[in-house]
Amino acid sequence: MTSLTPRDKDTIKAFMAKASVYAEEIGKDALCRMIAVYPQTKTYFSHWKDVSPTSGHVKKHGITIMNAVADAVSKLDDLKGGLLSLSELHAFTLRVDPANFKILSHNILVVMAILFPEEFTPEVHVSMDKFLAAVALSLAEKYR
């Protein structure tokens, strides 16, 4: 389900070349939307004083996440290997239910649709959805 074809990889690289300039904006907005629209995701951030969608913590963390996603483009040919230490972090320390990766992915796609309404065609949509699913799968690699 998540094998990326050569065409997917070209589409992902081309689109992300444009989008990664806005990685911080995308990250902030996607995480804000995830928390606002799917409040159950707040449970992972109970250690923050302010878990409201527009808090400084949320913005900063959104940037961290999206920078990692943008970086994953350079590891497209071996996501499992490239994301190994992040997978260990998510598996043993953070223990985020992998269902939430899908939720965040959806919100990243919504933000991309808003920022790039012309470029985010159905072809780009499917390749980006597959890319985020592949990243999520690699993150879940060490879970069990």
42 binds another protein (CB under 8 A): no
Among 100, 113, 137, 142, binds another protein (CB under 8 A): 113
- Which lies closer to another protein via its Cβ, residue 7 or residue 95? 7
User: Could you say whether residue 125 binds another protein (CB under 8 A)?
Assistant: yes
**CB-nearer residue toward another protein: 1 or 85:** 1
Number of Cα atoms under 13 Å in the Cβ half of residue 111: 23
Contact range with another protein by CB under 8 A, out of 14-22, 32-40, 67-75, 86-94: 32-40
Using the contact rule CB under 8 A, the part of the chain among 15-23, 42-50, 68-76, 110-118 near another protein is 110-118
- HEC profile of 3-66: CCCHHHHHHHHHHHHHHHHHHHHHHHHHHHHHHHHCHHHHHHHCCCCCCCCCCHHHHHHHHHHH
Residues 141, 37: Cα–Cα separation, whole Å:
27
